Structure 1
Amino acid sequence: MIPWRNDELVIFCSPKHPLANKQGLTDDDLKSATWVAREPGSGTRQTFERGMHGLLPDLNILLDLEHTEAIKRAVEANLGIGCLSKVCLEDAFQRGSLVPLQAAAHRRFDRQFYFILHKQKYKSAGIDRWMELCRNL
């Protein structure tokens, strides 16, 4: 396992959502919201659940979806709020079609991405080049 880059999930909503202009979300806000989430078992869902530790049984998850774009569209349609990687939300935030929300500081949504290589397989120049391209993103 070779560390690649850090990532952070961001809670977000439609600009029309009642929480859109709230400065900071409380745990009660998180529990009372309707959620559109990644499917159970995905890495994003695992990070989300770790960040929501202690609240999971009380969350109202309306939809579990497999695709990031489907989640973004559902949240844009104001079906609920979501939590996805900051990287995949940057364009939507710039356009104003989605807005970031700030959870309490004790709610952590950070994670580390890795390259995973088989110990007993030859690492070709192509793999080295691909890893270099990824690191330069």
Structure 2
Amino acid sequence: MPSKVGEYMSKFPAARIDLEYSRTTKVVRDVLNGNAELGVIAFPEPKRGLKIVQMPPNKLVVICPPDHKFAKRSSLKAKDLAGQDFVHFERDTPTRKAIDKILKAKGVEVTKIAEFDNIETIKRAVEVGFGIAIMPLPSVLDEQRLGTLA
């Protein structure tokens, strides 16, 4: 998201942007109530009064600490995740629902260690060894480049 904001600001330097991380329900409510002009959410669902503009999809990737057994692997099969300690998004978030649907379709059960509502908190939990997680690729590029996540 920050790179997209940077692109926008370079094209429209006089624009004023207030960027805030919020839960999906709050983003939708704020746009519907006129408290925000625009909201960006994952896996949007149609709702009266909202116009949904699809953005290019983000690839979901497994992340782990650099010393994890998956760290050097270039690809994984869904069954590889079975029984792994897992750091989740909170249950009511759209990304969590999508991940749960994928795991269920593949018949994979993981061991839930923690749930958080925030991408940054999940990344930090994985970095310190809570477990692995599935995240949108753009959200972990910096950590992968720095070597704090694999």
TM-score normalised by L of structure 1: 0.64
Q: Deviations over 1:61-117 (max 9, x none)?
A: 110111111110110001100111111101001111101xxxxxxxxxxxxxxxxxx
Aligned pairs, number:
99
Q: What residue number does 2:145 align with?
A: 94
Q: Specify whether residues 63 and 97 from structure 1 end up closer, same or farther in structure 2 by C-alpha distance, changes over 3 A only.
A: same
The corresponding residue for 2:46 is: none
Counterparts of 1:2 and 1:19, CA distance in 2 = 35
After TM superposition, what 4+ stretches of structure 1 lie above 3 angstroms from structure 2? 54-57
Q: Which residue of 2 aligns with 1:25?
A: 76
Q: Which has the higher strand share?
A: 1
* Gaps in structure 2 of 5+ consecutive residues: 1-51
> Under a length normalisation based on structure 2, what TM-score does the superposition of the two structures give?
0.59
SS across alignment from 2:56: strand
Q: What is the 5 A alignment of 1:76-115?
A: 76-99=127-150
Equivalent of residue 7 in structure 1, options 53, 58, 81: 58
Give, in whole Å, the separation in 2 of the partners of 1:91 and 1:74: 16
Shift of 1:23: 4.1
Q: Distance in 1 between matches of 2:90 and 2:58?
A: 19
Conserved in 2, the CA contact under 8 Å of 1:11 and 1:84? yes
Instruction: Report the Cα distance in structure 1 between the residues aligned to 2:148 and 2:86, rounded to whole angstroms.
Output: 17
| Counterpart AA for 2:96 | R
1:5 match: secondary structure: coil
User: 2:118 aligns to what?
Assistant: 67
Q: 2:100 aligns with which of 38, 43, 49?
A: 49
Q: Secondary structure at the match of 1:63?
A: strand
Q: How many Å separate the matches in 2 of 1:23 and 1:8?
A: 15
Structure having greater relative contact order (Cα 8 Å, sep ≥ 6) = 1
Q: Show structure 1 runs of 5+ residues with no match.
A: 100-137
Matches within 5 A, 1:114-125: none
SS at match of 2:54: strand
How far apart are residue 56 of structure 1 and its match?
6.4
Residue identity over aligned pairs, in percent, reads 25
Asked if the contact 2:81/2:108 (under 8 Å) is kept, the reply is no
* RMSD between superposed Cα atoms in Å: 1.8
Cα distance between partner residues in 2 of 1:72 and 1:82: 8
Which residue identity is paired with 1:10?
V
